[in-house]
């Protein structure tokens, strides 16, 4: 899953692809580099960020989804949003997945939107909200993996009860969303416990701040090599989708892992 942030303030690439033309060029480059999914993000959800109204998200995302779909009718497109109106507009424009960091909690009407569309959905774990989730260094957990597993199981039940096909549900433990550095490391170390829940697992560790804390790398764009280590570890544990800013390098790393394990 290639990250396409169409925002002025995302933590790693804010402003890089805000213009529609730049976003389309980046999307096509990621597809050429081997991306299977393009994740269009019209709202930054970095720690401390503020919500973007639906109209602003739609103005940013829909022209880009229209343009990507016009260039490539086969690529899977994901819309990274918590709002039903944005999700519906994106799905109408040709998106296939709703990637909701709130696990369908922030806007209850998004449940019906996903159910009636037949789209796939990513349910992500987050404690708190982007504007406050890392306050005080992040929340404390007694058993971070176990608590995430219980949360995702409960949210899956809610989604299925609302008519969403269970085979269309993807789990994301929410690396960096209301987590301390050690929590993120433990999630990756014990990812097999989340894979055992039976839904495909998405991991988005690319360039995130816990890598910077471990390796003392301040610039997110310099965290690529460590992001690849996280990606390969996640695939080894059974992750199905790797969300990344660096598509070509990630594809090559995962292919090399696959070649070795199937030699």
Q: Just list the catalytic residues.
A: 208, 243
**Rounded distance between C-alpha atoms, residue 90 and residue 218, angstroms:** 34
List the alpha helices (DSSP H) in 45-191: 54-71, 84-93, 110-117, 144-161, 181-189
Identify the bridge partners of residue 124 per DSSP, sorted by sequence position.
172
Helix (H) or strand (E) holding 259: helix 247-261
DSSP-derived 3-state class of residue 207: coil
**What CA–CA distance (Å, rounded) separates 232 from 189?**
12
* Dist CA 193 CA 232 (whole Å): 17
Q: Tokens 């213009």 appear where? A: 19
**Contact yes or no for 84/109 (Cβ under 8 A):** yes
Distances (CA, A) of 143 to 150, 159, 179, 190: 11, 24, 12, 11
**Tally of CB atoms within 10 A around 137:** 8
Those residues with Cβ within 8 angstroms of residue 214's Cβ, 6 or more apart along the chain or in another chain: 181, 185, 226
């Amino acid at each position: 899953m290639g990250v396409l942030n169409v925002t002025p303030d995302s933590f790693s690439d804010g402003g890089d692809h805000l213009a529609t033309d730049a976003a389309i060029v980046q999307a096509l480059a990621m597809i050429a580099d081997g991306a299977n999914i393009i994740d269009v993000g019209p709202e930054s959800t970095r720690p401390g960020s503020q919500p973007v109204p639906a109209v602003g998200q739609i103005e940013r995302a829909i022209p880009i989804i229209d343009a990507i779909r016009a260039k490539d009718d086969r690529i899977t497109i994901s819309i990274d949003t918590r709002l039903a109106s944005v999700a519906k507009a994106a799905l109408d424009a040709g998106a296939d997945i709703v990637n909701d960091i709130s696990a369908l909690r922030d806007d209850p009407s998004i449940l019906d939107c996903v159910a009636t569309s037949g789209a796939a959905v990513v349910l992500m774990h987050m404690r708190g909200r982007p504007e406050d989730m890392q306050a005080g260094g992040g929340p404390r957990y007694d058993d971070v993996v176990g608590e995430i597993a219980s949360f995702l199981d409960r949210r899956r039940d809610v989604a299925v009860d609302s008519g969403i096909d269970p085979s269309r549900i993807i789990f994301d433990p929410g690396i960096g969303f209301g987590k301390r550095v050690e929590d993120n490391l433990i999630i990756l170390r014990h990812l097999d416990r989340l894979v055992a829940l039976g839904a495909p697992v998405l991991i988005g560790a690319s360039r995130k701040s816990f890598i910077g804390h471990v390796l003392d790398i301040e610039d997110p764009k310099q965290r690529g090599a460590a992001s690849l280590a996280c990606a390969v570890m996640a695939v080894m544990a059974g992750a199905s989708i790797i969300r990344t800013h660096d598509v070509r390098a990630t594809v090559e790393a995962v292919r090399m892992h696959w070649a070795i394990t199937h030699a």
